[in-house]
């Protein structure tokens, strides 16, 4: 009888059971309450979500990049899991908040996090190749969802408008992708930023982008699908996971008149850097 080949894990430090659980194509993630300081950011994803992806696509001691780090979720996740991390953030206020949050997380974790790099760089992600970054083992990020934060009628914006100190947009900076109102121009500039990662991402390493399709003016703009198509020219699109949000209240959009769904899911697109081999 042939002996069973022992499990050899080249990608991460998960057990076979943990590996299989992550392979489910959809998941529900209910995060803990957010810190008051980071609530002012209008589109923050939870540290616990970032942690699950970081643990799957890297090993301890490797380096993770988030080129649009916001208030530091990815960096905190990396500190908790023993990974080095670098975050780039255009908005100076968010970068300062991210640095404070990261410092506090490092202090809370104590010795295990003391020697880990967790750096916030206040720059435009379009300039990342000017920053002399080290070789990156994994990229985890989420871009602005086009200019949807400028849509006054959006349900999230309606709620935030009645709470003091909460930002309704990322910034007023013209370099901010969230301020580009032409969809094709937004898609081009976003794709250019992500495509430049091929110069610093280790071969066979992964890039995860959390994104969703956009409803605007009674029309769907398939941002996730367009980004997958365009970025597929620089990376290999390997798969997707669907993040389902099952804790959001339903709204009666178009009731009695037209079909308008409540969109409570995001696409977690998995790309792999597979540069062509020399003949």
Query: What single DSSP character describes residue 229?
Result: H
Report yes or no: 57 and 11 within 8 Å, Cβ to Cβ: yes
**What is the chain's mean pLDDT, rounded?**
88
The pLDDT of residue 170 is above 70: no
Q: Tell me the sheet residues that pair with 221.
A: 214
Distance CA 261, CA 205 (A): 36
Distance CA 85, CA 78 (A): 6
Q: For 150-154, 200-204, 236-240, which range has the lowest pLDDT when averaged over its residues?
A: 150-154
253: Cβ–Cβ under 8 A, 6 or more apart, which residues?
A: 260, 261, 262
Q: For 16-20, 145-149, 262-266, which range has the lowest pLDDT when averaged over its residues?
A: 145-149
- 120-133 per-position pLDDT tens digit: 999 999 999 999 99
> pLDDT value at position 176?
87
> Residue 41: which pLDDT band, with cuts at 50, 70 and 90?
very low
> pLDDT value at position 253?
85
> pLDDT value at position 133?
97
37: Cβ–Cβ under 8 A, 6 or more apart, which residues?
A: 71, 97, 100, 101
| CATH code reported for the domain at 39-272 | 3.40.50.150
> pLDDT value at position 77?
96
> Residue 164: which pLDDT band, with cuts at 50, 70 and 90?
very low
The pLDDT of residue 168 is above 60: no
> pLDDT value at position 161?
45
> pLDDT value at position 178?
85
- 77-100 per-position pLDDT tens digit: 999 999 999 999 999 999 999 999
The rounded percent of the chain whose pLDDT value lies above 70 is 86
The pLDDT of residue 37 is above 60: no
> pLDDT value at position 46?
83
The pLDDT of residue 32 is above 80: no
The pLDDT of residue 114 is above 90: yes
The rounded percent of the chain whose pLDDT value lies above 90 is 68
Q: For 8-17, 82-91, 140-149, 181-190, which range has the lowest pLDDT when averaged over its residues?
A: 140-149
Q: What is the mean pLDDT of residues 39-67?
A: 86
Q: Tell me the sheet residues that pair with 209.
A: 141, 269
Q: What is the mean pLDDT of residues 242-258?
A: 89
Q: How far apart are the first and last CA of the chain?
A: 41
């Amino acid at each position: 009888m042939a002996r069973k080949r022992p499990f050899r894990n080249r990608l991460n430090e998960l057990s076979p059971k943990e590996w299989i659980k992550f392979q489910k194509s959809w998941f529900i993630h209910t995060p803990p309450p957010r810190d008051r300081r980071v609530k002012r950011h209008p589109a923050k994803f939870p540290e616990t979500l970032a942690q699950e992806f970081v643990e799957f696509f890297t090993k301890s001691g490797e380096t993770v990049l988030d080129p649009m780090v916001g208030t530091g979720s990815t960096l905190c996740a990396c500190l908790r899991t023993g990974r080095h991390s670098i975050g780039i953030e255009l908005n100076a206020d968010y970068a300062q908040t991210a640095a404070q949050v990261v410092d506090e997380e490092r202090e809370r974790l104590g010795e295990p996090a003391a020697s880990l790099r967790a750096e916030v760089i206040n720059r435009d992600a379009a300039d990342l190749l000017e920053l002399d970054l080290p070789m990156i083992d994994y990229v985890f990020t989420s871009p602005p969802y086009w200019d949807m934060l400028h849509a006054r009628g959006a349900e999230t914006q309606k709620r935030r408008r009645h709470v003091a100190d909460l930002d309704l947009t990322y910034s007023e900076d013209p370099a901010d992708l969230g301020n580009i109102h032409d969809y094709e121009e937004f898609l081009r500039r976003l794709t250019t930023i992500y495509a430049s990662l091929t110069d610093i991402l280790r071969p066979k390493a992964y890039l995860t982008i959390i994104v969703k399709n956009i409803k605007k003016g009674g029309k769907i703009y398939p941002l996730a699908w367009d980004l997958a198509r365009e970025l597929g020219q620089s990376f290999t699109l390997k798969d997707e996971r669907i993040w389902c949000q099952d804790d959001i209240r339903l709204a009666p959009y178009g009731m009695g008149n037209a079909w308008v769904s409540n969109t409570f899911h995001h696409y977690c697109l998995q790309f792999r850097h597979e540069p062509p081999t020399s003949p």
